[in-house]
């Protein structure tokens, strides 16, 4: 039987979803060899970075009677490949086997028994121009900033000047936008998902809830605040709330103390987009109960929820099982440490920002390259090294 998680993910896709269990179908060695050649062609056409981001976890699940099923681990990857690369994959497969009639991209699960497929009608591949493939192959990495934390909320300060529609949220840093985010292999999937959420309208596909996880200093807060800013840019009338988990706890505790809990719940019920940062810090049984009730209400009302933490939902042991289960019901994407090119890009942007404040500053490319090679951790470590 299809699990509740699978049904929730499937409901967020623009086409019926197929889920397969790992190891359910034996694939012939001939199909595996063809698949390896197809992957090699994808890498050659699109480049190693793009290939690693979107196709590195593809597996051939089944190939028979003119139908090839390729599995990926998440619904987001399935949707992205269907929308951007399905036609190219079909072209490469037909070069290997002219008898192939159609390609299906399916989501694999850990279920090994009792598989019950929901057979989809294949979404038509979008017409993709050569220019589109070239742009994606080049990565189109935007200029970004080393992540910094937003300032702590000031007690008694009005949220209105900080963020017009952030009705009760934490302050936002105006520097945290998509344009100021360094994109690369370690965060490209998360970046694309964040943009898809921010730019979607009420009728668009949603990956809900979207859960981003990474260790400290890899850009989670930057992406979350960029989602909030871009959502308002696309729809200035939307009601967007960005909160850290600690601020969420403080607001609820204050509302309960002041007998205003009902008013706070009514405010939250009316929002269009809820963004929660540092989910690992959400503590307390009653607070978690309120949070679970809130996200259930928002998701059931087709409102978007985005959450970030320093680990995947299944490892947030401080959360109650029902909260973890609800967070597991969407798409969880990991952001890992930046590579050399991304680190160098961050340092060059940091240099440009510093030079705007002090025109006498002179730091050579050679020094930045040395730092980028030496400091291989997070953006915060790069920031510290630059400041030294």
4-138 and 188-334 agree in CATH topology? no
Nearest to 38 by CA among 58, 22, 21, 19: 58
Buried b / exposed e along 147-172 (16+ C-beta atoms within 10 A): beebeebeeeeebeebbebbeebbbb
The domain defined by 188-334 folds into Rossmann fold (3.40.50)
Q: What is the pLDDT of residues 117-141, one digit of tens each?
A: 333 333 333 333 333 332 323 333 3
* Structural contact between residues 344 and 383, judged by C-beta atoms closer than 8 angstroms: no
Contact 16, 104 (CB under 8 A): no
Residues of the chain under the 50 pLDDT cut: 1-25, 110-167, 203-204
pLDDT in tens, 164-181: 444 457 778 888 999 889
Domain positions in the chain? 4-138, 188-334, 340-387
- Domain 4-138 fold is GMP Synthetase; Chain A, domain 3 (3.30.300)
The mean predicted confidence, pLDDT, of the chain is 75
Render pLDDT for 298-353 as a digit per residue (tens, 0 to 9): 888 888 999 999 999 988 888 888 888 888 888 899 998 888 888 887 777 778 77
């Amino acid at each position: 039987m299809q699990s509740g998680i699978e049904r929730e993910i499937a409901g967020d896709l623009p086409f019926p979803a197929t889920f397969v269990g790992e190891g359910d179908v034996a694939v012939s060695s001939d199909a595996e060899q063809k698949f390896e050649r197809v992957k090699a062609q994808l890498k050659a056409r699109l480049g190693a970075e793009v290939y690693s981001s979107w196709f590195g976890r593809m597996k051939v699940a089944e190939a028979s009677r003119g139908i090839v099923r390729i599995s990926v681990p998440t619904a987001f990857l399935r949707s992205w490949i269907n929308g951007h690369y399905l036609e190219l994959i079909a072209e490469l497969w037909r070069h290997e086997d002219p008898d192939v009639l159609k390609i299906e991209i399916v989501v694999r699960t850990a279920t090994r028994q009792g598989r019950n497929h929901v057979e989809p009608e294949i979404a038509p591949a979008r017409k993709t121009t050569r220019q589109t493939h070239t742009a994606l192959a080049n990565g189109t990495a935007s200029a970004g900033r080393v992540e910094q934390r937003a300032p702590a909320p000031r007690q008694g300060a009005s949220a209105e000047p900080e963020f017009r529609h952030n009705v009760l949220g934490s302050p936002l840093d105006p520097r945290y936008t998509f344009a100021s985010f360094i994109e690369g292999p370690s965060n490209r999937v998360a970046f694309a998902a964040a943009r898809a959420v921010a730019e979607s309208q009420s009728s668009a596909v949603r990956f809900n809830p979207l859960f981003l996880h990474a260790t400290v200093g890899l850009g989670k807060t930057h992406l979350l605040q960029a989602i909030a800013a871009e959502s308002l840019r696309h729809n200035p009338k939307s009601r967007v709330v960005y909160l850290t988990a600690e601020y969420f706890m403080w607001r609820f505790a204050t509302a309960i103390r002041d007998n205003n809990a009902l008013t706070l719940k009514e405010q939250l019920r009316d929002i269009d987009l809820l963004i929660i940062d540092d989910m690992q810090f959400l503590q307390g049984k009653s607070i978690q109960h309120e949070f679970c009730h809130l996200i259930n209400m928002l998701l059931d009302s087709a409102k978007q929820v985005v959450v970030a933490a320093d680990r995947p939902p299944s490892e947030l042991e401080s959360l109650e099982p029902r909260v973890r289960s609800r967070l597991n019901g969407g798409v969880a994407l990991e952001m890992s440490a930046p590579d050399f090119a991304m680190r160098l890009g961050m340092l060059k942007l940091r240099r440009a920002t510093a030079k705007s404040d002090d025109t006498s500053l002179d730091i050579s490319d050679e020094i930045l390259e040395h730092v980028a090679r030496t400091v291989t951790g997070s953006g915060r470590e790069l920031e510290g090294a630059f400041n030294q």
